[in-house]
Amino acid sequence: MRMIVTLSLLMTMLLLTFSPIKGQANPNLGVSAEHAVLMDSESGRVLFEKDAYDSSLIASTTKIMTAIIAIESGKLDEKVEVSGQAVRTEGSSIYLTEDEKIPLRDLVYGLMLRSGNDSAVAIAEHVGGSVEGFTHLMNEKAQWLGMQSSHFENPHGLDGETHFSSAYDLGLLMAYAMKDETFREVTGSEKYLSENRDYAWMNKNKLLTKYYEPTNGGKTGFTKKAGRTLVSSAERDGMELIAVTLNAPDDWNDHQRMYEWGFEHFETVQLQKQGVMEANGQSYYIPRDVSMPLSLLEKEQLEAHFYRYPVDDSSHLAGVAHYSIGDTPLLKTHVWKERPEQGLIEESLNFMKQLTGVSIW
């Protein structure tokens, strides 16, 4: 019975808690990219997009997915024996040698900072048992994250007929990955010295190392067919944004332009605070803090309404709060009758994490 209750609570948390709307392109913000998106990392709100939901080649930005799966495997301190297949992988390399034994953690740094395709294959073979097994994990993760325009056939991003994603999907992936402290440390590092090397690997992401101070992470990519691809994150005044460009000849400037526009026109507004609330003589429980980037005009037009559900003693939910900008829906969050047992919440979240590797929040 407890497992049934736990699963019921789990699905309520997963499916009903938070439903942000998608944004629209701003014609005054020009970018060179064929596909682009700027989104808020915390809420997932899209602030700007240009054909962001169309599938495209993504080159080495693929490695964000490879890295987060490797990190979540719990095997970072294990030694990986490098195969001949990994060493012979074409493209960018960290110059692994066959039968070399190197910590998985070092391979993740080599993957993200130097974009090593040999590192990607070595990671895939160790974590997934084979490249094919690892790509299954990649597609499984993409499905759980809601990356509906994505499919992976390799861990490195070399062009493939069934290897693609969208700017929006990569934004979702980066926002998710940035919630992991180890991933944040890796992607935000300017250099890393492997225990197997006597020289440091320098990060290729010049947005982080040279061009834009608020940058705190990202991944570059390039193939002749995909063009220049770039996923990045930047934080200012407590608001973290994610930018993605695909096939962008001027990607460094595209990202800086999007960030400056986003930071100038939006600020993070707390819409609800976790805890007990009183309304019309009734007590209700808000299960989480919810913040959203809003423009000054949107703040003035923000409306909130609470709709109670019919009385049902078997349900945990009391109703739903709808937030809108004038007549345009913004998001909805569910309100609980009372605070669930803390142990039950933790059990549900841990179960979800073990099952999928995806945290609900």
Smallest CA-to-CA distance from 187 within 211, 163, 164, 204 is with 204
Dist. CA 151–CA 62, nearest whole Å: 10
Length of the chain counted residue by residue: 361
**Dihedral, CA of residue 31, residue 159, residue 111 and residue 165, to nearest 10:** 50
Residue 206 annotated in active site: no
Which tokens in the block code for residue 352? 């979800």
Dist. CA 345–CA 327, nearest whole Å: 34
Dist. CA 18–CA 321, nearest whole Å: 10
343 burial level (CB within 10 Å; 0-12, 13-18, 19+): exposed
Other beta carbons within 10 Å of 234:
27
Residue 60 annotated in active site: yes
Backbone φ and ψ of 217, nearest 5°: 175, 170
Helix 131-145 vs helix 342-356: crossing angle, to nearest 10: 140
Which amino acid, 145?
L
Dist. CA 83–CA 66, nearest whole Å: 18
Smallest CA-to-CA distance from 246 within 167, 133, 334, 136 is with 167
> Which candidate in 41, 43, 56, 60 is catalytic?
60
The 3-state DSSP class for residue 323 equals strand
> Which candidate in 41, 43, 83, 115 is catalytic?
115
> Which candidate in 50, 63, 204, 219 is catalytic?
63
Dist. CA 180–CA 184, nearest whole Å: 6
Query: In whole angstroms, how far apart are CA 156 and each of 58, 134, 159?
Result: 10, 11, 9
Place of tokens 């197997």: 196
Residue 232 annotated in active site: no
Dist. CA 241–CA 44, nearest whole Å: 9
Alpha helices in 129-250 (DSSP H): 131-145, 167-177, 181-187, 206
**Active site members:** 60, 63, 115
